[in-house]
Structures are given as C-alpha cells and as structure tokens.
Amino acid sequence: MDSRYTLPSWHREALDWFELNAGREFPERPFDVGLAIKVTSLQKGIWKPKGTPYAVSVVQTHAGLYDDQDPIHSDEGTWTYFYHQQGKTLEDLRNPERHFANVALMKCAADGIPVGVIIPAESGRGYQVLGLAFVEKSHTLGYFKLVGPVSVGAVAQDHVAEPMASVTAALVGLPVPEFDPHAVQDDRLKVIASVHRRQGGPRFRRALLHAYEGQCAMTRYDAVPALEAAHIIPYRGPQTNHAANGLLLRADMHDLFDLGLVTVDPGSMRIRLADELSGTKYEPYENEPLWLPKDSAVRPSEEALAMHMAQSAVA
C-alpha cells in the first residue's frame, strides 16, 4: 500500500487480518474476529464503516441478490474477481453513486487501497477468505474488477491515480432480471472470453448445495463430491444460473435428467421415469416426491419443470 495514504490503525488491522487468513474457511460468515472493527457487515455485501471513505471488504453470499462471478485463477497464482455493484436497476447502473458503498469501492480504486474478499466455501457450507485485492479503475457491465492477492505492504504503483472524472461513467450495463425460463437469449458477460463456459458454474453449484443442504433432490444421497448442479432449462448465460432453474442431483440422476429419462411433474412435484427405466433399479423412484428446499425463493420453477417435462421421454 502506498505510504502516501495513511489509514487508521483499525483499518490496517482489518487488512492484515484478510492477508493472514487468506484461504481459511469459516463455518459462518466472518464478522467479529476480535479486532477493533468488524471485518464484514452482516447486512451489506460491501462493508464501508463510519469514519473512512474506503470500503474494507466485499462478501459474496450463498444465495445473494447479485450475480457475483466466481474468481478466475491464473497459473501464476493470481486471481481476478468480478463483483457486482450495489443496486441492479437500470437507474442504479446509470447512476451508481446513488449508493455510498459503490463510491467507497471507487475511492479504493482511485487511491490504491486494497479490500478483503470473502466468498462461499466450495462445499456449499460456510465461507472462505479469498484474500486481499486491488479494485481496478476500469469497470464494466455493472461489475467491479478485483485483482489479487496483494499484500498490505505492497506499493500500489499502478493503482494510485488521479480521481476519476466521472463516477457515473465508471459503471455501465444492464440489470440482471429474475429468472425467466422463456429467456432464451445468450446474455453471457463477455468480460474475458476464456471464462464463458465457467461462468456461474461453481457458484451455481454452491447455491444449490446450500439450498438442498448437501443432499440430492431425488435420492437424498449426501456424498457431496458426487452431487452436481443440474440446469432445468439448459445453460444460456448467467441468467439461467438462477437457483430456481436448478436441481442438486447425484451424477447418474443428472445424466438421466439431461437425457429426458427422468423428469419432475410440476403439479405434484413428484419424480417421473421414462418407460426405458421400468424394471431397472431406478424404478423405485417413480412417483417419489422431490425433496424441496426450505426457502421458497430457491425452489425449482414449476414453469421450467413443465418445459423440461414436455421435452422429456416420459409419456
């Protein structure tokens, strides 16, 4: 961090904590870790405490409001992370300075002040400290670009710059709508061409692992390494990575679901099998109830299930 910027001791302690705990997992979202200041906010994804113009940390939640992207790791050990700004309406995207949290991250970008990053753990339970990152001065499609890891002691030569002339021009893009199974357009974020296929994959699986409590929606199988995130409507960009367009399924059930040999009746939420599976060990699953998440907001879309069933091999 450039010595021209003097941060309060409590702010530096928080940044030190993120650097020292990079890679560590916590069963709950880190909050009060014994420092003079909390390292995150339990209410907001972007944490800007009183008494500072800077954000201290950003958090991606398991089933958050925003479509934050998964970190992209390079062979050199660095990572890039696209974090959605606060506010997703068209007015928010045109005028991000309406939210003080966005301004705080922009101030970090302008002055080269790193922020801590916390993401959901890969298991779908708990959280992982990704580490410290610089906020890039360039923003696109309503996302902040964070690059790490960095050290509190690093000199941010490339990140200390003149203040941006226009905060409004810093973020542009379109809001991410609620899941619509009829939205067939491919609206993938073309941030980096090499991540098109990876976009949302790990995060989509984590969201489903959290929603279904680490158990297959059809078999209640609970071996997490064998569970996969199945799209009800095939993947057509981040909009289809909505938890309501997914089922957490054992790998073999996922294959059968994709082949249309297994489907779900949206009216009864019961499993239906194609005739080809009659007499097999899968037959006992016929007409068994689908196990649904407790949170109604992430339960499978009945309309999407109807579309899948109409295209399946089930009579």
Q: Are 200 and 72 in contact (CB under 8 A)?
A: no
Identify the pLDDT of residue 163: 31
Task: Tell me what pLDDT residue 139 has.
Answer: 64
Distance CA 7, CA 156 (A): 14
Total domains present in the chain: 2
Q: What would you measure as the largest C-alpha separation in the chain, in angstroms?
A: 74
pTM (2 decimals)?
Answer: 0.58
In a domain, 178, yes or no: no
Q: What is the CATH number of the domain that holds 164?
A: 2.30.280
- The mean of the pLDDT values for the chain is 81
**Inside any domain, residue 190:** no
How many Å apart are CA 115 and CA 290, to the nearest integer?
42
Q: Same domain for 165 and 205?
A: no
Residue 202 has pLDDT above 70, yes or no: yes
- pLDDT tens string 91-148: 877 788 889 999 999 999 999 999 999 998 877 788 999 999 999 877 666 888 899 9
pLDDT at 181: 60
The band of 189, judged by pLDDT with boundaries at 50, 70 and 90, is very low
The predicted structure's pLDDT at residue 187: 42
- Whole-number Å distance between alpha carbons of 163 and 145: 17
The residue from 120, 151, 170 where one domain ends is 170
36-57 per-position pLDDT tens digit:
999 999 888 999 998 899 999 9
Mean pLDDT over residues 2-14, rounded?
75
- CB neighbour burial string for 232-265, b if at least 16 within 10 angstroms, e if fewer: bbebbbbbbbbbbbbbbbbeebbebbeeebbbbb
Instruction: Say how many Å lie between the first and final Cα of the chain, rounded.
Output: 64
Is 89 exposed, middle or buried (CB count within 10 Å of its CB: 0-12, 13-18, 19+)?
exposed
Domain membership of residue 138 (yes or no) is yes
Domain region containing 280: 199-310
What's the pLDDT score for residue 278? 93
Which run of H or E residues covers position 248? strand 246-250
Written as one string, the DSSP assignment of 166-210 is -SGGG----------TT--S-----S-GGGTTTTTHHHHHHHHHH
